[in-house]
Structure 1
Amino acid sequence: MSGLPDILLAAVTGFGCALFFSSIPVGPINLTIINEGSQRGFKWAWFIGFGASIMEAIYCALSFTGFSSFFGNPGVKAVMEVLTFVFLLFLGAKFLFVQSVNLPATPLRAAAEKIEARLEQKLHPRSAFLIGFVRVMGNLGVFLFWIVLTGNFMSHDWVADALWPKAACVGGVALGTNAWFFALCFAVSRGHGRFSEATLLRLQRLSGVCLLVVGLFDGTHIVWQLARHRMALTS
């Protein structure tokens, strides 16, 4: 059985990462909450965020379930650390130099929008909860994002390869996304939707700076590991 420190570390990791990445203001759920919250109030907007957070947690759980043995390989761990470093720098630079809050057209985004449209046609979400749930379900980028992120968690041993640490991480993800969406819904309902494009751009660029800092920290960690490994070989 996993020890309590492993479970706490996994929960804090899931909560912190979900809180940070959910707060990047370019996502479709954030924009939906801002638009809907200003028109229909706090309760409606919060249920959209709640539905989205449940689907985020499900994608996180699926990432752990389907790829845990794959990420346990030492070679794969090393590759995931490098890919995460590149991924964070790419996202950070993209958000830092963005010129508009509108998401750029990409093949992945186009595919996600088609899937989302088909799901909405079949399921006909009427409640706020289902709107948030279905929009995240149809977004392939969210699932790919969690595959990369959970691989990074396991490569750094932040989440142990056991049931309870993984469950704690998924629970932390659900709490972290809910915490951000609650804060956003409250701010929107109090501000009556007064979120200008300039404000969103500033938040987006701040997110880019934070991602670059995290990426550089991750790169420093990789260099330190390589140096330690080389010293061990020469000693």
Structure 2
Amino acid sequence: MNTNATLRASQSSSAAETSLETSKEFEDFIYLISHDVRNSVRALIELPQWIAEDLTEAGVKIDGSVAESIELMNKHTGRLDRMLVDLLTFSRVGRMQNVEDVNIDAALSEVLEEIPMPSGFTVVRALDCEVVTIGERDIMTLMTALISNAVKHHDRSLGKIVVSSYRDREDVVLSVRDNGPGIPAGYHERVLGAMTTLRPRDEVEGSGMGLAIARKIAQLYDGRISISENQEGRGTTIEVRLAVGSP
């Protein structure tokens, strides 16, 4: 009986190791192919501009269906490039960085300098916990994903985003609360999946990878991500728990 139990435990451990190796190989593949394909996409992004310049130099007026076609090419190549960037970001989670004590306030300031924030939006800091142990790039990626998601899906010109942090026993909890339209309860799990958007991409530009990236980071640090509706009846709070001292 003990021999059988030992054998089953060994087989289970071996299967887990094989699964991890397969997952890593797949992510390595995503990284490589996304990087190579993006080089071609960059050329495609410039192609409509070259066509427009050549037509102008030849004295051809760019209007009507030609202008529409060039605009459509710009739109779709830009969308493809954003998707590849997000796939690269997804594959880079936990890689090629130092896990260290990171100042949350300083990381947030750096993120806000990079995100194009609408003029009518304010960001409130409620950072009761100052430090989290995490990859130096993962914290930036996590905050960028959560804040960009709140901005992108807001439905008003005036918005408020509250970024919070606190300790809860062995966890550091980071949360981003907004006063946007909210996410229906039945879709909370769905929006955490890859390539998922609740609105057509013609209405909201994006790859649908933001929250999937945030969930991957949470899981890497033995944590989890959750979505809840705000008690005041409007908006969403996305909370990420990270285990202290992981991974």
Classify the TM-score, shorter chain.
under 0.3
Structure with a larger share of its residues in helix: 1
Structure with a larger share of its residues in strand: 2
Which has more radius of gyration? 2
